[in-house]
Amino acid sequence: MDKVKVLERYLPPAAAPLIARWIDYFKCEFKISRNRNSKFGDYRPPHAGKGHRISVNYDLNAYAFLVTTVHEFAHLHTWNEHKHKAKPHGSEWKANFKKMMQPFFEQEIFPADVKHAIVRYLNNPAASSCTDLHLYKSLRLYDAPKPETHLTVEKVPMNTLFKLKNGRVFRKEEKLRKRYKCTEIKTRRIYLFSPIAEVELVEE
């Protein structure tokens, strides 16, 4: 099937032709991946005879899929220019992300609130987009509705049980700086969760 047609299922359709050109131009293996709770996308540099590899979670809404795709292509572009000398979300990556996002701003693909969140994020060199809560929350507004039992960790009440997709059950305990301390019920081990990790409430 035509690459653009496949990408149109996941991206805002007007963005698909340029992303398809990037895949060809950079000779990148682009994979639409299963959901990974810990990350939206991933970039792997050339290694052991394999070329550039990018994967993006299949279940992101179209705007989140596009932001994540551009995020990963900015890593690829930065690797081509600097190899391992540049920090993962350093100034070189930030400049490339800004530059590669520009065509989509010119096409007016993003709603105003998402564009504002991206611009704000680009002007904040301390953050990486996966952990930028303002950008993440703006993107989530465009998700399809989910059952009331499906929440992010920050919305789970304290001392309440929740479970992951793999069935592991935890109790939310306290906030430690940016993450939440949670205890796994079965093992009594303590884990730190991102506030934006998606979980399901468990009735006690």
What is the mean predicted confidence (pLDDT) over 126-140?
70
Options 2.30.30.30, 3.90.1150.180, 1.20.140.10, 1.10.760.10; CATH for 150-201 is 2.30.30.30
What is the mean predicted confidence (pLDDT) over 50-79?
93
Q: Residue 155 above 80 pLDDT?
A: yes
- Sign, Cα dihedral of 23, 27, 32, 35: negative
Helices 112-122 & 133-140, crossing angle to 10 degrees? Answer: 160
Q: One-letter amino acid identity for 14? A: A
Nearest-5° Cα angle at 201, 68 to 192: 60
C-alpha span between 11 and 22 (Å, rounded): 14
C-alpha span between 104 and 67 (Å, rounded): 10
pLDDT at 37: 65
* pLDDT tens-digit readout, 93-117: 989 999 999 999 999 999 999 999 8
Q: Residue 89 above 90 pLDDT?
A: no
Whole-number average pLDDT of the chain: 88
What is the mean predicted confidence (pLDDT) over 62-74?
94
pLDDT at 194: 85
Query: Phi and psi at residue 103, in whole multiples of 5°?
Result: -60, -30
pLDDT > 70 fraction of the chain, expressed in percent and rounded: 93
C-alpha span between 152 and 131 (Å, rounded): 13
- Confidence bin at 126 (pLDDT 50/70/90): low
8 Å CB contact between 169 and 131: no
Q: Residue 7 above 60 pLDDT?
A: yes
* pLDDT tens-digit readout, 162-191: 999 889 999 999 998 888 999 999 999 999
Strands 29-33 and 179-184: unpaired
C-alpha span between 97 and 73 (Å, rounded): 8
**pTM exceeding 0.85:** no
* pLDDT tens-digit readout, 22-40: 999 999 999 998 876 667 8
Q: Residue 67 above 90 pLDDT?
A: yes
